[in-house]
Amino acid sequence: MVDAVPVTTRWRVEAAASSAAARWTRDESRVHESPRWSRCHDRAEDRDVRSARVHREDAAAHCPPDVEAGDDRAVGRSVTGMGRGLWGRNHAADCRRERCPAGSPPDRSTRARLELVGIDFEQIKAGAKAMWSLGDYSLLAAGLEPAARDLVDACGVASGQEVLDVATGSGNCAIAAARKGARVVASDLTPAMLALGRARTATEDLEIEWIEADAEDLPFTTGRFDCVTSVFGAMIAPRQDVVASELFRVVRPGGTVGMANWTPESFMKKMGEVTSRYAPPPPAGVPDAFRWGEEETVRSLFEAFASSVQIDRRIVTWTYGSWDEMRSVGENFGGSVMAKKMMPPSMFAQMGEDVEALFREHNRGTEGTVVIDNEYLQVVAHRA
Ligand SMILES: C[S@@+](CC[C@H](N)C(=O)[O-])C[C@H]1O[C@@H](n2cnc3c(N)ncnc32)[C@H](O)[C@@H]1O
């Protein structure tokens, strides 16, 4: 049980039992009085105990005994409500950096992690999975494909390598890597995305295994892959330091981690600002995904794991032959399909008008075409 959790006002998205649709509900109860929260929390406790035990066994190999004692105190704190990984794996990262917090006041990164106490990450991810299950993602995927191909080139993916693409969607990056002759594992939180990817590659003889997996908890052995990539995907998972730790855990020493992340200046971010005016606020304390598009944030998230980090600011351009084509891509995006189910029609129409006004403001197409530049960071790092 959670002993002392403050009264909170929070919104939550619940996957509806009968379909992938979701609804927003306002929850003004004490978090610990919500049976739904308690169930999630109990599961999180179980996982915390398991993950902390694994870490203790892990840490025993390299931590001195006093650090081990500190680790036990960390376990005590973790079972009072922090999600899995907030202490377990990140404590391991602190050990690697020889910044074990045992016995000393919490440092800056530890304090940042403590601020995440009480956030229901499983519910956030259930909402994301429900959203990404809707619509027809393949239309949007086509607009991201050049960034995936560029990343595969920048990472030097070659025949004979084993590559993992995290949050693969319908497999843009996985397919580009497999076409270079690599053996590829394509993983994503959303089964519907994997089904799209399988269908897309059914007639091509590519070595791709499609696996359902959360970027925060990759079901792969340590050091398995030569290269791990993620294109506008891993940046969506809520616990950014857990994601960074996982991407580097599964790549071999000297191997490559490559990401494409929208910047805070991107058209994508501006679009998010428009649509978020029509959505409930995100849970307090969850970091903004666009932090992955800030150079200093990426360097700080990778600091503990990487021997080198190369960052380039790049543009991926969306080109549509007409406004109708642009609208059709937008209407088939999972977020729009979900919004349409949840909003009154007039509100949904108003949101569509605001989005279109943003497109018109940034359009550099002529004669009825739509051409939009979208900025992202291409990140290529090597594991120490
Ligand atoms: C914008 S799409 C990008 C997909 C693909 N990489 C591409 O370039 O087309 C985001 C993807 O992230 C996936 N995703 C969201 N949260 C995730 C998580 N916690 N773990 C793994 N995948 C996640 C979604 O299911 C979706 O397929």
Band (285; pLDDT cuts 50, 70, 90): confident
**Position 41 pLDDT exceeds 50:** no
- pLDDT, residue 335, reads 93
Output DSSP code: residue 87: T
User: Cα(378)–Cα(384) distance, rounded to whole angstroms?
Assistant: 19
User: Cα(378)–Cα(16) distance, rounded to whole angstroms?
Assistant: 36
* pLDDT 10s digits, 74-131: 222 222 222 222 222 333 333 333 333 333 444 545 545 555 667 889 999 999 999 9
**Residue 264: closest CA among 232, 296, 289:** 289
Least confident piece of the model among 80-89, 165-174, 288-297, 364-373 = 80-89
Average pLDDT in the chain = 77
What is the CATH class of 125-313+375-383?
alpha beta
User: Cα(259)–Cα(379) distance, rounded to whole angstroms?
Assistant: 5
Q: Which of 121, 165, 168 to mutate to test the pocket of ligand 1 (most atoms within 8 A of CB)?
A: 168
Q: Which of 132, 140, 271 to mutate to test the pocket of ligand 1 (most atoms within 8 A of CB)?
A: 132
- pLDDT, residue 121, reads 92
* pLDDT 10s digits, 154-210: 999 999 999 999 999 999 999 999 999 999 999 999 999 999 999 999 999 999 999
Least confident piece of the model among 45-59, 176-190, 355-369 = 45-59
Using an 8 Å Cβ cutoff, are 255 and 155 in contact?
no
Of 340 and 106, which is predicted with more confidence?
340
241 conformational bin, left if phi > 0, alpha if psi -120 to 50, beta if neither: alpha
Six-digit token string for 104? 């000393």
pTM: 0.74
Q: What are the pocket residues of ligand 1 if the criterion is a CB atom closer than 6 Å to any ligand atom?
A: 125, 128, 132, 141, 144, 148, 167-169, 172-173, 188-190, 193, 214-216, 231-233, 236-237
| Residue spans per domain, the chain | 34-118, 125-313+375-383
Cα 236 to ligand 1 centre (Å): 7
